[in-house]
Each structure stands twice: as structure tokens, then as C-alpha cells.
Chains A and B, each alone.
Chain A
Amino acid sequence: ETGVTQTPRHLVMGMTNKKSLKCEQHLGHNAMYWYKQSAKKPLELMFVYNFKEQTENNSVPSRFSPECPNSSHLFLHLHTLQPEDSALYLCASSQEGTSGSYEQYFGPGTRLTVT
């Protein structure tokens, strides 16, 4: 596998379910991100991880819970979601800092539908 992978690609879940999205980067980057992309809305940055430490949480509801066990893997745990949480969830990684290029590499996304 190369680049950034995300699983699953599609997910349908009820409002009472618990599920997790997985992201893996094979690029050796030091930063990983979760974005939410809804129809007709700008890309929303949700979480930023720098060397496995969360450095940003953009006022995301607690029903979204990120986890970064190492610098290559990122999870987004979902529970008791609302229909308005239906969106494309994108994971990205980048190399930041003095040796970084700052360009973001995106996975293909998980299309989430909450019923």
C-alpha cells in the first residue's frame, strides 16, 4: 500500500451505533488530520495530530473521538451520531517542521451516512 488509505470507503450507521474509521499513512509523515466535507460547505478541519499528540480540536462534538496510537495510524471513533453528521470524512497526512514540505496527502475518504 502506498500513500494514505482509509477504511471503510462507505459506512451506513444508525444513530445508536458505534463504529470506527481507520486511516493509515505509508509516507513517514509526522502529522495527521481528520476533515469533514459536507455538501455545499467548506472543508472542515476536525483534529490535528503532531507526532501522535493531538494539537488541535476544532470544537468537534464529543460523539467524535479520535485516536492516534502511532504516527502511521489514525482512528475516528463514532457514537450516537446525528443525521447532520452524514458527510465525507477525509484523512490526510503531511510532513511539518523545518524539514517539511507542508503539502497534505489525502486518503480517498469514508462516505458516512447516518440513518
Chain B
Amino acid sequence: AQSVTQPDIHITVSEGASLELRCNYSYGATPYLFWYVQSPGQGLQLLLKYFSGDTLVQGIKGFEAEFKRSQSSFNLRKPSVHWSDAAEYFCAVVGTGGFKTIFGAGTRLFVKA
């Protein structure tokens, strides 16, 4: 069965520091992978996605993610974090046949001044 693991429940980084959020997935074929962000009291917003091709994908707000098939990972990165990046981040994979996106448990990002 497909699954998504985000090993870090929460992470704290200083403003201006780099960020990496980890995501591991379990899927039998080439997955469709996503990162979403949720600000407090809001719905989720797509940051970026990977379907095929270049394994380094760029997203909105200066985020990028790298697909590593050998490690079953799709880690999210940002070179310099801003206070406004404080939010919860969800990694997700589309399940077999579509119509069902499987979300990880989320990683809450705290940014300190």
C-alpha cells in the first residue's frame, strides 16, 4: 500500500537559515509527488509537484524539492527561510488510479528571529 512518512513533527530554524523538510514515500511505480503548505486556519496550497523528468523541481515562494528514487525520498528545501514561511508542510503522493491523494502527517515549521 502507498504511504508517506514525514519523520519530523516540527522543526525550528532561524530566519535566513536554510531549510530541508524530509519526506519518504512507499509506492510501487513512479509516483506523482507533491508538497503542500498550510497556514494557520487555512486550507492547503500546492507548493510544487513532481511527475517525471528533471528530478529537481522548483515551486512557489522559493521552494524546491528533489526526487531521489533510490532513497524513495522527496525532500523540500529552501536556501533562506523567511518568517512568513512558518506554517505546516505536507508531503503527498497520488495513489494508484488517481482519485486519492495520500498525505503525510505534516511537519510544522517554526521560524525564530
Mark A residues whose CB is within 8 Å of B.
Answer: 4, 31, 42-43, 45, 48, 50, 55-56, 88, 90, 92, 94, 96-97, 100-109, 111
CA distance A92 to B92 in the complex (A): 14
- The yes or no answer to B90 lying at the interface (CB within 8 A) is yes
- The yes or no answer to B32 lying at the interface (CB within 8 A) is yes
CB distance from B25 to the nearest CB of A (A): 14
Instruction: Determine the chain B residues whose CB is within 8 A of the CB of A109 once the complex forms.
Output: 41-43
The 10 closest A-B pairs by CB, nearest first: A106-B43, A96-B98, A42-B105, A106-B44, A43-B103, A102-B94, A108-B43, A103-B46, A96-B99, A107-B43
Q: B101–A102 contact, CB under 8 A? A: yes
A103's closest neighbor in chain B, by CB?
B46
Q: A104–B100 contact, CB under 8 A? A: no
CB distance from A107 to the nearest CB of B (A): 5
CA distance A102 to B49 in the complex (A): 10
Interface centre among A42, A43, A97, A101 (most CB of B within 10 A): A43
B side interface size, CB within 8 A = 21
**CB<8 Å pairs between A and B, sample of 10:** A42-B106, A43-B103, A55-B99, A56-B99, A90-B43, A90-B44, A92-B44, A100-B98, A102-B94, A102-B98
CA distance A84 to B106 in the complex (A): 21
Q: A102–B32 contact, CB under 8 A? A: yes
Instruction: Determine the chain A residues whose CB is within 8 A of the CB of B106 once the complex forms.
Output: 42-43
CB distance from A2 to the nearest CB of B (A): 14
Inter-chain pairs besides A92-B43, A94-B101, A103-B49, 20 sampled, C-beta below 8 Å: A31-B98, A31-B99, A42-B104, A42-B106, A43-B103, A45-B101, A48-B99, A50-B99, A96-B99, A103-B34, A103-B46, A104-B36, A104-B44, A104-B101, A105-B46, A106-B43, A107-B43, A108-B42, A108-B43, A109-B43
